[in-house]
Chain A
Amino acid sequence: MNILSLFNYWAVIGLMMIGYYCVIVRGNMVKKIIGLGIFQTSVFILFISAGKVLGGSTPILRDGVEIYSNPLPHVLILTAIVVGVATTAVGLALAVRVQEAFGSIDDDALDRHATEDEA
């Protein structure tokens, strides 16, 4: 087992860190949501790539095929994708409402407004 044979996990880790970095560092709400999306997608790839069986065929029952890939991770991730889409939708809806209420979706400006409200 060398480093290349684990390339799917390297891809997952790379995407995960890009997304996570984006969530933490970006001040813009929409960019945070994009980062969150990349972060979640990396986990989807983790599941999907783990379901692949080497030499396995697509999991459709037919003659002459003995080894199938595992279809269960796909089903799980179908659910997780729906959850991710819903999260993005709620996040974007909140960003729209924040823009209407504060006139900005940037963290620094929002913090300033929130501190003003406090007084």
Chain B
Amino acid sequence: MNITEFMPFAVLLPLIAAPVVALLPGRLAPWIFAWLSAAGALLIAALTLIAVFDGEILRYAFGNWPAPIGIEYRVDAASGFVALLITAMATLMLGWGRASVNREVPERQGAFYALFLLAFAGLMGITLTGDIFNVFVFLEISSLATYALIAHGRDRRALLAAFRYLIMGTVGATFLLIGIGFLYIMTGTLNMMDLAERLPAVGESRVLQVGLAFIVVGMALKLALFPLHLWLPNAYTFAPSVVSAFIAATATKVALYVLLRFIFTVFAPEYSFTALPLAAAFTVLAIAAMFAGSWMALFQDNLKRLLAYSSVAQVGYMVLGVSLVTVMGLTASFLHLFNHGLMKGALFVAAGIIFHQTGSVKVADMRGLGRVMPWTFTGFALAGVSLIGIPPTAGFISKWALISAAIDADQTWMVALILISSLMALAYIAHIIEVAWMQPRPKGAPVVKEASAELLLPLWLLVAANFYFGIDTRLTLGGATAAAEALLGGGGL
């Protein structure tokens, strides 16, 4: 048994399972099959991460055509780390999602789960592949499936959100394709490692510069980096709960991973950050995102949209870490990428449970609910604590890493901005808690019951993970450091 032989199945399992699931009748069979394929992928991703943790690189040549002729999957610590997050989230969300999907997508669930698996397989493919054209194809597989998933929302505005995401997402992906085209024209190869070797020989070239610019802007669109985040709030708000939770925890992270892969592995950081003023641009946009996102979140009366704007702010933290161009900064980014998946996953799951029980995610409808649904709202509050970054939670660890990285890079002024933005997170999370616990349930409000254990268990698993990774950071900090070193090769600018 060699893990290299099995690693591609982390992508192939959900990809092959998708058409089967689409054909299965009823509700139970598609769900079981989808969950099993996700769990299988999780197992493979976990074994893969163990294998690459110490800096080893797994390479699998499809059809035995060695790279650069054939397409290869190439997994280092960075891809293994992101793959573990995606598979873990897919397994958890599918496990949690059955009751939620039964309520929100009552018909043709086979097709719904098939789309979910396609989105999942696409994200995995982006993460594991070592070929830049393959990245584009998998990006579109996952994006197209995501558009269709968002359109499954019960509210008719879900259709508009999906369409606008489709327009902006396709423009972003096409920008990536233009960039890939320029790289191919200049080097004649599509393999990432091969590109990394040949690009320095091309030297100073306007074509490469433009190609890099197209790739950065295209991926910034998919990543929802402020001010290219306009598709995100409505897409997260109107998608079915399970879809919101899954894409909030994974999709923007994978876009960030692609961006990092391009600027650090394909183009060396020495090139990317001198050919374009990326560090300055990322710093400004990240800080703008932190404040604009948190500021907008303060005024939302819809819980899911509040969380979506909070995601815009959190993307800011991740990009801020990248803008430092140090191993510590990148480590903080990867750490927050993982930890934010955990906390936003938990918060969106809590929002999904609230919707499942009450049929509304309006903040005004949550008055007094804390005492009626104590388990749900306690879980929400604890995940919120992690979002704000209070010890001992995973959120604290990533904020701490980001602040240390900023100080280490002599950018002490960033610390104040990170703290202010965290205080804004405290304000919007505290507002929800205040409404749910302190305000009385209005007279004549519909009778609401606490959710079943089936719904609560995944939420509490995620909450527990938030606290576990706030105390035992061997996996997250170790994985993030290994990922950052894999990208920067131990060096920096």
A72-113, CB under 8 A of B: which get 1 and which 0? 010010011001001100110011011001100000001000
Interface flag for A15 (CB, 8 Å): no
CB-based contact B151/A40 at 8 Å: no
Q: Report, as a range, how many residues of chain B touch the other chain.
A: 20 to 34
Q: Which of B140, B155, B156, B167 contacts A86 (CB 8 A)?
A: B140
**A76, B71: Cα distance in complex, Å:** 12
Interface flag for A114 (CB, 8 Å): yes
Task: List the B side residues contacting A36 at CB < 8 Å.
Answer: 167, 170-171
CB-based contact B133/A76 at 8 Å: yes
CB-based contact B137/A79 at 8 Å: yes
Interface flag for B375 (CB, 8 Å): no
B129-144, CB under 8 A of A: which get 1 and which 0? 0000100110010001
- Say whether, besides A86-B144, A114-B157, A39 and B171 are in contact (CB < 8 Å): yes
Q: Which of A40, A43, A87 contacts B181 (CB 8 A)?
A: A43
Measured CB to CB, the nearest residue on chain B to A95 is B163
Interface flag for A63 (CB, 8 Å): no
CB-based contact A98/B178 at 8 Å: no
Q: How far is the CB of A96 from chain B (nearest CB, A)?
A: 10
- Say whether, besides A79-B137, A80-B177, A90-B148, A32 and B167 are in contact (CB < 8 Å): yes
Q: How far is the CB of B106 from chain A (nearest CB, A)?
A: 17
**A16, B374: Cα distance in complex, Å:** 55
CB-based contact B174/A94 at 8 Å: no
CB-based contact A46/B163 at 8 Å: no
Task: List the A side residues contacting B181 at CB < 8 Å.
Answer: 43, 46-47, 50
- Say whether, besides A36-B167, A43-B177, A94-B151, A87 and B144 are in contact (CB < 8 Å): yes
CB-based contact B171/A23 at 8 Å: yes
Q: How far is the CB of A109 from chain B (nearest CB, A)?
A: 11
Task: List the A side residues contacting B184 at CB < 8 Å.
Answer: 47, 50, 73, 76
Interface flag for B147 (CB, 8 Å): yes
**A29, B171: Cα distance in complex, Å:** 15
**A81, B188: Cα distance in complex, Å:** 21
CB-based contact A87/B178 at 8 Å: no
Interface flag for A117 (CB, 8 Å): yes
Measured CB to CB, the nearest residue on chain B to A114 is B157
Interface flag for B280 (CB, 8 Å): no
**A98, B155: Cα distance in complex, Å:** 11
A17-31, CB under 8 A of B: which get 1 and which 0? 000100100000100
**A8, B185: Cα distance in complex, Å:** 14
**A102, B156: Cα distance in complex, Å:** 8
CB-based contact A114/B174 at 8 Å: no
B455-471, CB under 8 A of A: which get 1 and which 0? 00000000000000000
Task: List the A side residues contacting B140 at CB < 8 Å.
Answer: 83, 86-87
List, sorted by A's number, 21 A–B pairs whose CB atoms are closer than 8 Å: A23-B167, A23-B171, A32-B167, A36-B171, A39-B171, A40-B170, A43-B178, A46-B181, A47-B181, A50-B181, A50-B185, A80-B177, A87-B170, A90-B147, A90-B166, A91-B167, A98-B159, A102-B156, A102-B159, A110-B160, A114-B160
Binding site for A on B (CB under 8 A): 133, 136-137, 140, 144, 147-148, 151, 155-157, 159-160, 162-163, 166-167, 170-171, 174, 177-178, 181, 184-185, 188, 190
